[in-house]
Structure 1
Amino acid sequence: MKLGNAPDSLPTRGHAAKRRSIIDAAAAVFCREGFAGANIDLVAAEAGVSRQTVYNHHGDKERLFAAVVQEMTERSNAHAFDVLSTFPDDPADVESELTAFAVRLSASLMCRGEGGFLRKLVEAEGDRHPELFEVWRREGPGRIWSALAARFARLAYAGHLDIEDPDLAARQFLALVNVDLKLPLLFREPVSEETLQANAARAVRTFLRAYGRDRGPPPPAREA
């Protein structure tokens, strides 16, 4: 029997579960084969469904690719905003609490599967799909930068940091946290907790040289 005509191996799965399995399978195939090398038959085999099921859910390869990028961006954002909710809004020790936050953020943005998929696809396919990845840049990193900038603005307002441009500070913080992880993750090298901790500590120390306050304890927060 041809692969494209194979029946679904798990016919009892619900619509949402089957859709997720197709998205996960397509992400693996696009990441492994690239857009040009991927096809619906490979995705169907990876997901354990029929070729027609993939078409029923997502249509052709182009629409499936767009759906995968959108879904992975949404998942990555959900994890990132969970971490952003733990940002130290009123730190007793700015350096240690920002370092702990940076560890959590690195683990979410850089070390989860969704982030790895998106980085690889942007590098490999960004030139061929500029509109799609412009949407990703705006809805993914753009939203995270903006949310992080708002939190840094509050720390500066409360006197914990000395920041004139919170948007720039947020981008620089993310760049410092991520820069030393890009190469090992590119080559799929494991990143230990100790490595994440050391990387975050270096990043935060550098960040605080630019934006830290050294004029004694912060003043009391002003009332809104």
Structure 2
Amino acid sequence: MGSEVSTGARRTGRGRIERRQAILDAAFTVFARRGYANTCVQEIAQEAGVAKPTVYNHLHDKESLFREAVEAAADRIAAQSLTVLDQLRVATPDADPRPALTAAARGLLSALTCEEAASVGQLAASQPDRFQDLTASVRERTALRVRSALADRLARLALSGQLRTCDPDQAAEHLLSLLTGPLDYRPDADPGPLVSTAVDVFLRAYGP
């Protein structure tokens, strides 16, 4: 009997978590499409395929929906970036770091410049008076988290002799700037040459 109750509780909890995630995904989709001011909770409920009261059962108001939807999307972008960086965890002494760095840089650029990432940045900055700390929260969840993970991977490469001894945080900032900086001037730049150039310049500065 205890086992049946436990199993039922797990099923109920899992269903609730899934519904909440569906609501947050729908909220982000609608907010990204229509903006905060033009979005109503009923639209979000329809997008999620639930009743409007169900939305309020999970998130109490439109402000909570907006904040949590944007932060959840930021966490997804960070998770994708961290998965990309996992390929740099294994450092082979004296091996050429270029192939692994190029693959990681390509994946990072894709994650950090995708449509969802652009929408997160736009939404986080769209209501500075109502959500004063949201931009900082998104930066903490994405840029700073990715920089920290990349710094850890670059430190491993330095310890294995694949990069010269360096300040890993600074090296991570330099690589990320080389990747994303040119897009401020050439937003439609071909990612292939951009990644190749970024890794080449980085290795000229930090190569062993």
- Per the normalisation by structure 1, the TM-score is 0.75
Q: Which amino acid aligns with 1:73?
A: A
> In 1, distance between residues paired with 2:192 and 2:129?
34
| Letter in structure 1 aligned against 2:60 | G
- Alignment match, 1:66: 67
| Aligned counterpart in structure 1 of residue 109 of structure 2, from 106, 111, 117 | 106
1:80-127, CA deviations, whole angstroms, 9 ceiling, x for partnerless residues? 22111111622722223211221122223322x542331222343456
Partner residue of 1:20? Answer: 21
Task: State the partner residue of 1:7.
Answer: none
> What percent identity do the matched residue pairs reach?
39
Task: Tell me which amino acid in the other structure corresponds to 1:164.
Answer: C
Matched, 1:169 2:171: yes
CA apart distance, 1:16:
2.9
Q: Distance in 2 between matches of 1:47 and 1:140?
A: 25
**Partner residue of 1:208?**
203
1:198 maps to 193
Residue aligning to 2:158: 156
Partner of 2:6: none
Judged with a 3 Å threshold, the aligned counterparts in structure 2 of structure 1 residues 183 and 22 are, in CA distance, closer, same or farther, namely farther
Change (3 A) 1:93 1:125: farther
Amino acid at match of 1:205: D
Letter in 1 for 2:134: L
Q: List runs of 5+ in structure 2 lacking aligned partners.
A: 1-13
Q: Which residue of 2 aligns with 1:134?
A: 136
Other structure's SS at 1:140 match: helix
Compute the RMSD of aligned alpha carbons. 2.6
- Between the aligned partners of 1:163 and 1:122, the Cα distance in structure 2 is 37
Q: Which amino acid is the alignment partner of residue 157 of structure 2?
A: L
Contact 1:99 1:197 in 2 (8 A): no
- 1:49 matched residue in structure 2: 50
Distance in structure 1 (CA, Å) of the matches to 2:173 and 2:133:
22
Structure 1: give runs of 5+ residues left out of the alignment. Answer: 1-12, 214-224
Q: Matches of 2:172 and 2:132 in 1, distance apart?
A: 24
Is 2:91 the counterpart of 1:96? no
Equivalent pairs counted in the alignment come to 193
